[in-house]
Homo-oligomer: A and B are copies of this chain.
Amino acid sequence: MAAVDLSTHPGHLARRLQQAHYLLWNTMVSEEITSPQFAVLNALVAEPGLDQRTVGERVGLDRSTVAEVISRLGRRGLLDKVRDPQDGRRFLLRLTQEGERTHRKLTVRTARMNQVFLGPLDAEEQALFCDLIRRVADAAEGLRNPAEPLAAQP
C-alpha cells in the first residue's frame, strides 16, 4: 500500500506526452516519415553538407540512432551520403530533390499538427509549455557534459 501517483512524475508524463505526439503525427503528418526523420531532414535543409555526428548533435540523436535514421532516409532516396575528401572518417550528407520536396510538404502538415496538439492550451500557456520543457531538458542534458570549468572557444 505504498503506491505513488504517477501523474505527478515528470518522467511518466514525458513518456505519455511523446506517445500522444506519436499518435497525432501518425494520423496528421505521415505514416512513412517519422518525427525524428523529419528533424534530420530539417537539419540538412538548414545546413547542407553536415556529417552524421553533427546532425545528431543538432537534433538530439546519439551516433547509433542517427546512423539508423540516416540509413532509412538514404534507402528512401531522400538524402545522399558521400565521403568527405578532406577527412576520410566523415560522410557528408545532403538532401536530394525528393528529400527537399518531402521536407516542404511535411513542414506544412507539421505546423497544422502542432496547432491541434497544443490546442488545449491558450497562447500564453503554449509559450510557457515550451519554455518549461526546454529548461528541464537543457538542464538534464547539461548534467551529461559537466562543461569543463574554464575556456571553451578554440
Binding site for B on A (CB under 8 A): 1-4, 6-21, 23-25, 35-36, 39, 42-43, 45-46, 59-60, 103-104, 107, 110-111, 113-114, 117-121, 125, 128-130, 132-141, 143-144
Contacts and interface: CB of A to CB of B under 8 A. Distances in A.
A38 B10 CA distance: 14
A24 B39 CA distance: 24
**This chain: how many copies in the complex?**
2
A6 B21 CA distance: 14
A141 B20 contact: yes
A82 B18 CA distance: 32
Given A2-B107, A3-B42, A60-B19, A13 B119 contact: no
